[in-house]
Chains A and B, each alone.
Chain A
Amino acid sequence: MTFKHQLWTRLVCIAILCFTSLNSQASDKVTLSIKPIACIVASIGQPCKLNVTAHWQAPQPMDLCIYQQDKLVHCWTNKQQGQKRFAISIVQSTDFKLLNSKKETVATVSVAINAAKPVSYRRRLRADWSVF
Chain B
Amino acid sequence: MRTLFYLCLLLVCHYSIAQQPPTNEGNDPQYTQVGQWGFSVALGVGQKSNPLKGGEDIPLYFIPSVHYYGEQFYFDDGVLGYSFFENEQFTLSALVKLNAHAANFYRWHPANIFIPNTQSLGAASPSDEGKDEDEYEKPTTVELEQLAKRKWALDGGLQLNYFTDNNLMFQAQWTHDVSGVYQGDSLSIKVEKNISLRDDDRLRLKLSAGVDWHSAKLIDYYYGISERDDVDGSMFYKGKSSSNWFASTTLSYVMTERWRAVLTWQTSKLDAGISASPLVKDASINTSFIGVAYDF
Contacts and interface: CB of A to CB of B under 8 A. Distances in A.
B109 to A, nearest CB: 13
Contacts of B117: 127-129
A103 interface: no
A126 interface: yes
B262 A131 contact: yes
A43 interface: yes
A131 B289 contact: yes
A131 B60 CA distance: 11
B34 A129 contact: no
B249 to A, nearest CB: 10
B116 A130 contact: yes
A123, A125, A127, A132 interface centre (most CB from chain B within 10 Å): A132
A113 B27 CA distance: 23
Contacts of A125: 74, 76, 79, 81, 83, 91, 93, 159, 161
Interface residues of B, number: 47
Interface of A is mostly: loop
Nearest to B110: A127
A120 B34 contact: yes
Interface in B238-296: 248, 250, 262, 264, 266, 287, 289, 291, 293
A126 to B, nearest CB: 6
A120 B291 CA distance: 31
Interface residues of A, number: 15
B154 interface: no
B208 interface: yes
Contacts of B293: 131-132
A68 B64 CA distance: 42
B78 A127 contact: yes
Nearest to B81: A125
A7 B93 CA distance: 80
A128 B81 CA distance: 13
A120 B25 CA distance: 9
Interface of A: 43, 119-132
Interface of B: 25-26, 30-35, 40, 42, 63, 65, 67, 69, 71, 74, 76-79, 81, 83, 86, 91, 93, 97, 114-119, 159, 161, 163, 188, 190, 208, 248, 250, 262, 264, 266, 287, 289, 291, 293
8 contacts: A121-B26, A122-B31, A127-B77, A127-B78, A128-B116, A128-B188, A129-B116, A129-B119
